[in-house]
Amino acid sequence: MDPHLLRTFVTVAECGSFSAAASRLGYTQSAVSQHIAALENDLGTPLLSRRPVVPTASGERLLEHAGPILLRLDAARADVRRTVADPPSTLTVAASPLAARSLASRLAEVRRSHPGTELALTVCGRAEVVEGVAAGTFVLGLTDGITAPTDPLHLSDAVHLHTTATSEEDLAVALPKSHPLASRRGLSLGDLVDARWIDAPDLAAPLTALRAAAGSDALHPAITYNGTDLHTLLALIEAGHGLAVLPRSAVTEDLAAVALTNPRLVHRTELVRTDLATPAAKSLAATFSNHQ
């Protein structure tokens, strides 16, 4: 199970096509075909059904492992490189959209205390934050998500990264002020199974997470927002397209924010970091452990 083979396997599975994966990886169709054949031969079972190209049951199982393995391989390389390369002059930080809100002021503080360091801030998806930190692209990352109070976020199981909680905040259901439920003191997910939902999985609490927390499959999106801009989401809510679950502080005055009381969930943001860091990185990380 050569990592190269695993990599083409996951790429093919993602693309749903041998030729697309080939061009993405810089191989020929033929090479990709041979890679898959080699893997299937090694494991003694078909991993993909062809035409359409879809993972078999065995392929699904392999996919669950392949990603984490590849990620950890990258992490290992990055970790070793870090012991030999001299510390980077620019502080690369990543954050998921909601987690990024708390970053501007802290970065300003770093700029003051460490005038020499260049800063690079990347806002990207929650998975990319963790993967980027693991792979060494970022020295520091902030992710957010919902969990039960004091429970850690369920990050990728691939890498044992240092993670520390930086804040927990109450969740609120964001509604237009004219919404019949807007005057409620608290809401439970059970009250909302028939509501119109906006699923904004890259920004707010993803509906899949809420379903898992509620133990119900009932929540269905009236509209999906595949974007990361908070103002756009709030505008969609205000326009009556539906409601969403957000950390209370993310809901502006134009909207009603009703506490989500049941199940008991919080919005948690966590700091993910590589083990070593420049003084600037350390001082940024310290910003979090001090203020809270």
Partner DNA sequence: GGCTATTACGGAAATCGTAACCATG
Partner DNA sequence: CATGGTTACGATTTCCGTAATAGCC
In the complex, which residues of this chain contact its own copies (CB under 8 A)? Answer: 1-3, 43-45, 47, 57-58, 61-62, 64-66, 68-69, 72-73, 75-77, 79-84, 157, 159-160
Task: Report the SS3 class of residue 249.
Answer: helix
If you search the block for the tokens 């929650």, which residue do you land on?
126
Tell me the window of 30-38, 164-172, 183-191, 259-267 that interacts with DNA (CB under 7 A). Answer: 30-38
Among 4, 77, 81, 162, binds DNA (CB under 7 A): 4
Note whether 33 binds DNA by CB under 7 A: yes
Could you please report the per-residue DSSP string of 162-207?
Answer: EEEEEEEEEEEEEEETTSTTTT-SEEEGGGGTTS-EEE-TTTS--H
Structure tokens of 237?
């809510």
Give the shortest CB-55-to-its own copies separation in angstroms: 11
Q: Does 43 bind DNA (CB under 7 A)?
A: no
Nearer to DNA among residue 34 and residue 228 (C-beta): 34
Alpha-carbon separation of residue 206 from 117, 221, 228 (angstroms)? 36, 10, 12
The whole-angstrom separation of Cα 11 and Cα 17 is 9
Does the protein bind DNA through residue 50 (CB under 7 A)?
Answer: yes
CA separation for the pair 265, 189 (Å, rounded): 11
Shortest reach from residue 227's CB to DNA, in Å: 29
Calpha distance 214→190 (Å, rounded): 8
- With CB under 5 to 8 Å by kind, the binding choice for 33 among DNA, its own copies, none is DNA
By CB under 7 A, residue 7 contacts DNA: no
In whole angstroms, how close is the CB of 274 to its own copies at the nearest point?
11
Distances (CA, A) of 28 to 8, 35, 148, 161: 11, 11, 48, 36
Q: Does 42 bind DNA (CB under 7 A)?
A: no
Residue of 27, 138, 225, 288 interacting with DNA (CB under 7 A)? 27
The option from DNA, its own copies, none interacting with 286 (CB < 5 to 8 A, set by class) reads: none
Question: Are the CB atoms for 267 and 99 separated by under 8 Å?
Answer: no
Q: Quick one: which of 187, 168, 177, 194 has its CA closest to 245?
A: 187
Shortest Cβ 59–its own copies spacing (Å): 8
Q: Which residue in the set 3, 14, 37, 186 belongs to the binding site for DNA (CB under 7 A)?
A: 37
Q: Which positions lie near DNA, rule CB under 7 A?
A: 2, 4, 17-19, 26-31, 33-38, 50-51, 53
